[in-house]
């Protein structure tokens, strides 16, 4: 298995497209699977179309589902931080992509996106792992 780690800053964006980094990581590796994993209890990864407002729509939908208030038992950190700990139950902490000839088999409009609503920690690691088929 081959691995690499990306360091991502989410200070300015709640969603960060990491598709190009995934493509670069897979290039020249042949056929197999690429797993993308975020080892954080308050972030996740999703595959969706970016741009044209989709990024903001995803964030707004998640914020409606997970309001930042005092309803959560997990109560440390900024107000509503408990919502951040529920996020990975909705947006999984990993995605696995089939890779053919060193290219992730994503659809035309699909992107691999780090989703991070947590305002208390903006420094994220994203682990890429490749297993040959």
Domain locations along the chain:
2-132
Give the angle 32-51-58 at the CA atoms, nearest 5°: 85
pLDDT per residue over 95-130, tens digit each?
999 999 999 999 999 999 999 999 889 999 999 999
Q: Which of 34-48, 70-84, 106-120 has the lowest mean pLDDT?
A: 70-84
How many Å apart are CA 31 and CA 49, to the nearest integer?
A: 24
Mean predicted lDDT score pLDDT of the chain: 95
Sign of the Cα pseudo-torsion (84, 89, 48, 39, in order)? positive
Q: H-type helices in 1-133, by residue range?
A: 19-26, 54-65, 81-90
Q: Please give the model's pTM, rounded to 2 decimal places.
A: 0.94
pLDDT band at 74 (very low <50, low <70, confident <90, very high): confident
Find tokens 């056929």 and name the residue: 31
Mean pLDDT of 5-15: 96
Position 46 confidence tier, pLDDT thresholds 50, 70, 90: very high
Calpha distance 42→100 (Å, rounded): 31
Q: Decide if domain 2-132 falls under CATH 2.60.120.460.
A: yes
């Amino acid at each position: 298995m081959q691995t690499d780690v990306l360091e991502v800053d989410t200070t300015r964006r709640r969603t960060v497209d990491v598709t190009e980094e995934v493509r670069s990581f897979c290039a020249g590796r042949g056929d197999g699977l690429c797993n993308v994993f975020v080892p954080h209890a308050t972030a996740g990864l999703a595959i969706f179309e970016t741009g044209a407002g989709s990024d903001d729509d995803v964030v707004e939908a998640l914020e409606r589902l997970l309001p930042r208030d005092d309803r959560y038992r997990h109560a440390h950190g900024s107000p509503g931080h408990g919502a951040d700990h529920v996020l990975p139950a909705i947006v999984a902490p990993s995605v696995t992509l089939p890779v053919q000839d060193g290219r992730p088999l994503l659809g035309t409009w699909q992107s691999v996106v780090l989703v991070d609503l947590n305002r208390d920690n903006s420094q994220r690691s994203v682990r890429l792992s490749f297993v040959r088929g």
